[in-house]
């Protein structure tokens, strides 16, 4: 059985878990994290799940990041790479069996990492994980203003299509959907983005989303 190291509250782990469900691949989730544990973020004084700094883990992933997978001895890290591997190996329907469709979706997967994730990390730290006295409301507001134009770009892209790579759901929808949903959970004021909201409503009905993304405790811890 495929093993995946990570944690349910990690947005990068979430996208891999969702893809595993889409690909119908049985898996075992092994809790691992340098910063989060059973009582939340380590800034609150509790322990981390750990393991990522161990020699065993670093032999698989020298960067000590999550997630990492072991698929019958094939080790892989970096969440978008894991998602693409799972789609190409187990579920070509997740890119319509077409490399150009995969590439179109990959654009938005990688865009999520560079244009959304840094902002979301700031927000989750200062809205949820850090101690109240260490949070910076001014930084939250600055980050809110910076992420809105990025979301508006995705909204504009979706004006003439149902999904990021065209008219079919693909692996390319998974990372941006995880990110956009987390943004909505924070409840911050944004602009009217009807295309984005309609797309998110479409993907929210999928089993993988409901199992691993929808629970709000996976974003507010």
Q: What DSSP string describes 64-103?
A: --S-EEEETTEEEESHHHHHHHHHHHH-GGGGTT-HHHHH
Residue 30 predicted with pLDDT over 90: yes
What percent of the chain clears pLDDT 70, i.e. is strictly above it? 100
Taking residue 173's Cβ as centre, other Cβ atoms within 10 Å add up to 26
Cis peptide bond upstream of 67, omega within 30: yes
Query: How does residue 44 score in pLDDT terms, banded at 50, 70 and 90?
Result: confident
Q: Do residues 95 and 164 lie in contact, with contact meaning Cβ atoms separated by under 8 Å?
A: no
pLDDT given at position 191: 87
Looking at domain 2-94, its CATH architecture is 3-Layer(aba) Sandwich (3.40)
In this model, does residue 182 exceed pLDDT 90? yes
Q: Look at residue 76 in the predicted model and tell me its pLDDT.
A: 99
Enter the pTM of the model.
0.96
Q: Which range is least confidently modeled, 23-32, 38-47, 55-64, 79-88?
A: 38-47
Cα–Cα distance, 19 to 193 (Å, whole number): 26
Q: Does the CA dihedral 15-17-18-20 come out positive or negative?
A: positive
**Residue-level pLDDT at 220:** 85
Model confidence at 221, pLDDT cuts 50, 70, 90, reads confident
Strands 40-41 and 36-37: antiparallel
pLDDT band at 41 (very low <50, low <70, confident <90, very high): confident
Delimit the domains of the chain by residue range: 2-94, 96-213
Percentage above 90 pLDDT, the chain: 92
Q: How does residue 45 score in pLDDT terms, banded at 50, 70 and 90?
A: confident
What span, in angstroms and rounded, lies between the C-alpha atoms of 133 and 161? 44
Domains 2-94 and 96-213 share a fold: no
**What average pLDDT does the segment 51-55 reach?**
96
In the prediction, which pLDDT does 126 show? 96
* 96-213 carries CATH number 3.40.920.10: no
pLDDT single digits (tens) 70-112: 999 999 999 999 999 999 999 999 999 999 999 999 999 999 9
Q: What is the predicted pLDDT for the residue at 104? A: 98
Residue 75 structure tokens? 């080790």
Nearest to 179 by CA among 38, 30, 18, 67: 18
Predicted confidence at residue 162, as pLDDT, reads 98
């Amino acid at each position: 059985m495929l093993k995946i190291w990570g944690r349910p509250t990690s947005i990068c782990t979430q996208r891999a878990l969702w893809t595993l469900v889409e690909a119908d691949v049985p898996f075992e989730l092994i809790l691992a994290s340098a910063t989060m544990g059973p009582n939340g973020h380590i800034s609150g004084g509790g322990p981390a799940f750990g393991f990522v700094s161990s020699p065993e883990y670093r032999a698989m992933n020298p960067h000590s990041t999550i997630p990492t997978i072991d698929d019958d001895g094939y080790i892989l890290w970096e969440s978008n790479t894991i998602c693409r591997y799972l789609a190409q190996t187990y579920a070509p329907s997740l890119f319509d069996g077409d490399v150009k469709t995969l590439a179109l979706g990959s654009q938005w997967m990688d865009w999520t990492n560079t244009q959304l994730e840094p902002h979301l990390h700031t927000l989750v730290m200062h809205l949820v994980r850090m101690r109240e006295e260490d949070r910076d409301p001014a930084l939250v507001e600055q980050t809110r203003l910076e992420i809105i134009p990025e979301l508006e770009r995705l909204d504009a892209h979706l004006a003439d299509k149902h999904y990021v790579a065209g008219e079919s759901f693909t692996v390319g929808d998974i990372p941006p959907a995880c990110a956009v949903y987390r943004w909505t959970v924070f409840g911050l004021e944004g602009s009217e983005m009807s295309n984005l909201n309609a797309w998110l409503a479409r993907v929210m009905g999928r089993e993988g989303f409901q199992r691993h993304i929808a629970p709000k405790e996976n974003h507010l811890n």
